[in-house]
């Protein structure tokens, strides 16, 4: 295994880190306390600078302006921009758009790519991904109840979705719905492009998450499909191929998320250490950093972050070498390991910050609210542990 970074990628990462510190992290004050419209303007200005630097959407296909990154390079990029909640958006690689780009590029027709993929990559429009339902287990996409019934040259879609992230302001959704109810379970669902201005597509609400409903890209929508009619030319891939497409989307997506979480963990760790050194706790001038318990936290957390990072890089390397299917054990392991490591880093940093840590004067409380879901989306911890444990034990069965 060789995780060496090319000289070209090293230069890019240095440029990204410097830009994050200078241009992106200072915008967090506007994100936490300012006006959403003003933040949108500032983010657009930063995006323009990224495009001038030639670093816009580097993970996207080369023919659409991407840089042809390997999975390892893409992971390192995600870690670098993950240090701020605004990083992915500023660089044009935010979820769910990044995953939708991947499946549109792989499964989309020429017409679909021209209409939806190109403007999505260019940042002219946003999209959303509509799979999870409130009444079915999100961990099992075979249980979907939303239907897309054939009617001549159209599909008529009916159902309820939620946590359709970024539906607020999106130009289109990719919805997963049952098209073949009598087929074997893994061949019942399909993915279909639904423009959000289609009659019957209704954004019911932005779901409030720990007291914050959010808006625009930073939101999680509940969507109702009520006799929503779209042409069959909006089908992605083959009919009944939705489950396969979902797996193609989720595997690499877990690498992206895990490396982004490592970016969060790394910055939370830096904030923890800086606070420990600055916070005086008695008249002698002693600081939190002088206390053995804090020293233990720092040692343990750094070791855990390093371990999680190496585990994730190995997963990315395995995908590059052998493909996502062959790397499924690594993908399952990093999903629950990195999510928990990141949350521990955020929680420990909050503890070291004391009362300040639970306020919105730092970004820590934002992460505490919004990243708790890391242990749920893209497969709950328990699902990944069960799947990985079952495969491990089978290898030892006589």
Residue 398 pLDDT greater than 80, yes or no: no
Reported residue count of the chain is 398
Residue 59 pLDDT greater than 90, yes or no: no
Largest CA distance in the chain: 81
Encode pLDDT of 294-347 as tens digits: 999 999 999 999 999 999 999 999 999 998 888 999 999 999 999 999 999 999
The pLDDT score that the predictor gives to residue 292 is 98
Residue 83 pLDDT greater than 90, yes or no: yes
Assign 148 a pLDDT band (cuts: 50, 70, 90). Answer: very high
As a 3-state breakdown, the chain gives helix, strand, coil percent values, each rounded to 5, of: 55, 15, 30
Give the pLDDT mean for 17-35: 96
Packing angle, helices 71-81 and 292-322, rounded to 10: 150
Encode pLDDT of 229-277 as tens digits: 999 999 999 999 999 999 888 767 788 899 999 999 999 999 999 999 9
Centre a 10 Å sphere on the Cβ of residue 213 and count the other Cβ atoms it contains. Answer: 14
Q: Which residue has the tokens 């989307």?
A: 249
The pLDDT score that the predictor gives to residue 379 is 85
Residue 354 pLDDT greater than 90, yes or no: yes
Quote the CA–CA distance of 16 and 73 in Å, as a whole number: 13
Quote the CA–CA distance of 28 and 94 in Å, as a whole number: 16
Report the mean per-residue pLDDT for the chain: 94
Q: Which two tokens stand for residue 78?
A: 């995600």
| CB-based contact 176:242 (threshold 8 Å) | yes
Quote the CA–CA distance of 95 and 320 in Å, as a whole number: 21
Give the pLDDT mean for 185-199: 97
| CB-based contact 216:43 (threshold 8 Å) | no
The pLDDT score that the predictor gives to residue 154 is 98
Encode pLDDT of 306-318 as tens digits: 999 999 999 999 9
Query: How much of the chain exceeds pLDDT 90, in percent?
Result: 87
Centre a 10 Å sphere on the Cβ of residue 132 and count the other Cβ atoms it contains. Answer: 19
Cβ contacts of 398 within 8 Å, gap of 6 or more: none
The pLDDT score that the predictor gives to residue 205 is 97
Encode pLDDT of 162-189 as tens digits: 999 999 999 999 999 999 999 999 999 9
The pLDDT score that the predictor gives to residue 153 is 97
Encode pLDDT of 268-279 as tens digits: 999 999 999 999
What domains does the chain contain, in order, with CATH numbers?
A: 7-121 (1.10.540.10), 127-236 (2.40.110.10), 244-395 (1.20.140.10)
The pLDDT score that the predictor gives to residue 352 is 98
Among residues 263, 265, 261, 241, the alpha carbon closest in space to that of 253 is found at 261
Q: Taking phi first (over 0 means left), then psi (-120 to 50 degrees means alpha), and beta for anything else, what does residue 106 get? A: alpha
Among residues 352, 364, 350, the alpha carbon closest in space to that of 290 is found at 352
Give me the half-sphere count of Cα atoms (radius 13 Å) on the Cβ side of residue 63.
8
Nearest 5°: phi and psi at 356? -55, -35
Give the pLDDT mean for 368-384: 93
The pLDDT score that the predictor gives to residue 4 is 80
Residue 82 pLDDT greater than 90, yes or no: yes
């Amino acid at each position: 295994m060789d995780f060496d970074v090319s000289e070209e990628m090293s230069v890019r990462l240095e440029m990204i880190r410097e830009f994050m510190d200078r241009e992106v992290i200072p915008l967090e004050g506007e994100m936490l306390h300012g006006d959403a419209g003003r933040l949108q303007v500032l983010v657009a200005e930063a995006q323009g600078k990224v495009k001038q630097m030639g670093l816009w959407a580097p993970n996207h296909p080369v023919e659409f302006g991407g840089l042809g990154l390997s999975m390892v390079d893409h992971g390192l990029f995600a870690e670098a921009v993950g240090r701020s909640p605004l990083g992915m958006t500023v660089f044009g690689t935010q979820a769910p758009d990044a995953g939708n780009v991947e499946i549109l590029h792989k499964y989309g027709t020429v017409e679909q790519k021209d209409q939806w993929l190109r403007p999505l990559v260019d940042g002219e429009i946003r999209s959303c991904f509509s799979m999870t339902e409130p009444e079915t287990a999100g961990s099992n996409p075979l249980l979907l109840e939303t239907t897309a019934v054939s009617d001549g040259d159209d599909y008529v879609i009916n159902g309820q979705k939620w946590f359709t992230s970024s539906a607020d302001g999106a130009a289109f959704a990719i919805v997963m719905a049952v098209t073949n109810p009598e087929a074997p379970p893994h061949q019942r669902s399909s993915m279909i492009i639904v423009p959000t201005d289609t009659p019957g597509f209704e954004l019911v609400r932005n779901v409030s998450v720990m007291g914050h409903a959010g808006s625009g890209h930073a939101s999680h929508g509940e969507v109702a499909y009520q006799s929503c009619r779209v042409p069959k030319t909006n089908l992605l891939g083959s009919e009944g191929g939705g489950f396969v497409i979902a797996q193609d989307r989720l595997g690499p997506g877990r690498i992206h998320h895990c490396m982004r979480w490592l970016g969060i963990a790394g910055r939370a760790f830096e904030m923890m250490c800086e606070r420990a050194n600055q916070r005086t706790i008695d008249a002698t001038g002693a600081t939190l950093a002088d206390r053995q318990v804090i020293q233990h936290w720092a040692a343990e957390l750094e070791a855990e972050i390093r371990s999680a990072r190496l585990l994730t890089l190995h997963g990315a390397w395995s995908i590059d070498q052998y493909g996502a299917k062959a790397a499924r054990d690594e993908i399952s392991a990093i999903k629950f390991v990195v999510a928990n490591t990141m949350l521990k880093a955020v929680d420990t940093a909050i503890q070291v910050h004391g009362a300040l840590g639970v306020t919105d004067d730092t970004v820590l409380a934002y992460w505490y609210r919004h990243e708790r879901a890391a242990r749920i989306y893209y497969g709950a911890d328990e699902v990944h542990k069960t799947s990985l444990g079952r495969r491990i034990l089978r290898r030892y069965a006589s």
